[in-house]
Amino acid sequence: MRRAVVERKTKETSVKAEVDLDGSGRAEIATGIGFLDHMLEQLARHSLIDITLQAKGDLHIDFHHTTEDTGIVIGQAIAKALGDRRGIARYGAAVIPMDETLTRVALDASNRPYLIWKVAFARPKLGEMDTELFKEWFQAFAQAAGLTLHIENLYGDNSHHIVESCFKGVARALREAITLDPRQSGMVPSTKGTLT
């Protein structure tokens, strides 16, 4: 069973996440940040990973710590559920249109984390959330999950559409990358014999 539970407690946040990589996209998300909840629900729905996440953070200061730590914890849970990554397809990509917006995502579940972020926003905030925090979320997520992750917004005007297309693109690319490939059952998808 490709499931995992991870908890993280600091002086700034308390976060617990449970994932099932072979789920149906069910999400139970509560971070205290409405827009982040909405994006994490999109991540679950379009990756078909069941995600349960509860977070309490120092939102009276700002949304930074809670945003970053949810990325860390979900990433760690996915990495833990993947184990040694035997049998996975490893690579995934998606091009996501959302009205006037188009975003391209490519990822390698290589266990070598790296983020390329080519996304710009015309507005500094979406509701109460700073748009710069989305890069922080994806950086934390890629690092903790062991993903080489490239996200590029090709064009778009609406900040909501841009962010949502990034989350949906990562979800679809992740879904492809972690799918079990029957032709390499039991094999690590690397000529080195390990993904580390």
Nearest partner of 81 among 195, 1, 141, judged by Cα: 1
Residue 196 has pLDDT above 80, yes or no: no
Asked whether residue 190 is domain-assigned, the answer is: no
* Residue 127: band (very low, low, confident or very high) from pLDDT cuts 50, 70, 90: confident
Domain span holding position 96: 3-184
pLDDT at 190: 65
Q: Give the count of domains, the chain.
A: 1
Is residue 189 over pLDDT 70? no
Q: What is the mean pLDDT of the chain?
A: 95
Model's pTM, two decimal places? 0.95
**For the segment 19-55, what is each residue's pLDDT rounded down to a tens digit?**
999 999 999 999 999 999 999 999 999 999 999 999 9
- Residue 185 pLDDT: 76
Domain-embedded: residue 194: no
CATH of the domain at 102: 3.30.230.40
Is the alpha carbon torsion for 26, 46, 108, 163 positive or negative?
Answer: negative
What average pLDDT does this structure show over 133-153? 98
Examine residue 192 and state whether it is found in any structural domain, yes or no: no
The secondary structure of 22-71 as a DSSP string is TS---EEEE-S-HHHHHHHHHHHHHHT-EEEEEEEE-TTT-SHHHHHHHH
Whole-number pLDDT of residue 1: 87
